[in-house]
Copies of this chain bind each other. A is one copy, B any other.
Amino acid sequence: MTGPLIIVNLKAYAEGTGEQATRIAAAAREVAEESGAVIGVAPAYTDLGIIARDYDVPVYAQHIDGVTPGAHTGHVTAEQVRAAGAFGTLINHSERRLTLAEIEASLTAARRCGLQAVICTNNVATTAAAAALGPEYVAIEPPELIGTGVSVSKADPGIIERSVEAVRRVNPAVKVLTGAGISTGECVKIALGLGTDGVLLASGVVKAQDPAAALRDLVSLL
């Protein structure tokens, strides 16, 4: 992949589950084809297989457990999501925190199955720690921007800049996503201007009346 990465996290939103999930995936495919942007979606596990099969977009799991196949009731393995067609996975999202040992185990599982790994973090220090583990991406989600509707353009951009610096210092091979405060093309432009390689967002697209229009706006200034 080249160019910035946009990942749309469908979370457990009613507007992003079941048939609604395919609506978002169709919009992602459509806008990706029009614009040349790379747009991935992270659906519910139960929707993962259908989207991976029917839509030509990178599909991410929202979480995987760092275990090998075996007696792990109610867990989700890298093998399961890979078999269902996943391209990558989020790890340690702010709504699904893991221990440090689990993050590392999940990353190891992702590598074992060839899944691209995006580790989510909450500040500069944890971003540096996550970068030391060597995933493809870290996604920095400053708590003051999560779900608040505050744009990264309005908030103090320092946390994003210092996170990018910390990653470059610890492991320059790791790319960075801006993981909160993104709702418009202007936000995406600012996020990339701060040195990040893409964005992770959710409600701005999933809850939009017209997800394709919301995505078109997001890529409009690339």
Contacts and interface: CB of A to CB of B under 8 A. Distances in A.
A58 to B, nearest CB: 17
Interface stretch (A30-38, A40-48, A155-163, A181-189): A40-48
A126 B98 contact: no
Contacts of A23: none
A166 B81 CA distance: 31
Instruction: State the oligomeric state as a number of copies.
Output: 4
Contacts of A203: 71
Sort chain A's interface into a size bin.
35 or more
Given A126-B104, A131-B132, A13 B74 contact: no
Interface string A76-103: 1101110110000010111111111111
A14 B96 CA distance: 25
Main secondary structure of the interface of A (DSSP, over half): mixed
Interface in A128-149: 128-134, 147
B83 A46 contact: yes
A170 to B, nearest CB: 6
A12 B69 contact: yes
Given A12-B72, A67-B12, A97-B101, A17 B131 contact: no
22 contacts: A12-B79, A13-B69, A13-B70, A13-B71, A14-B70, A44-B77, A45-B46, A46-B80, A47-B84, A73-B90, A73-B202, A74-B90, A74-B93, A92-B100, A97-B101, A104-B122, A104-B125, A125-B133, A129-B132, A132-B166, A132-B170, A170-B170
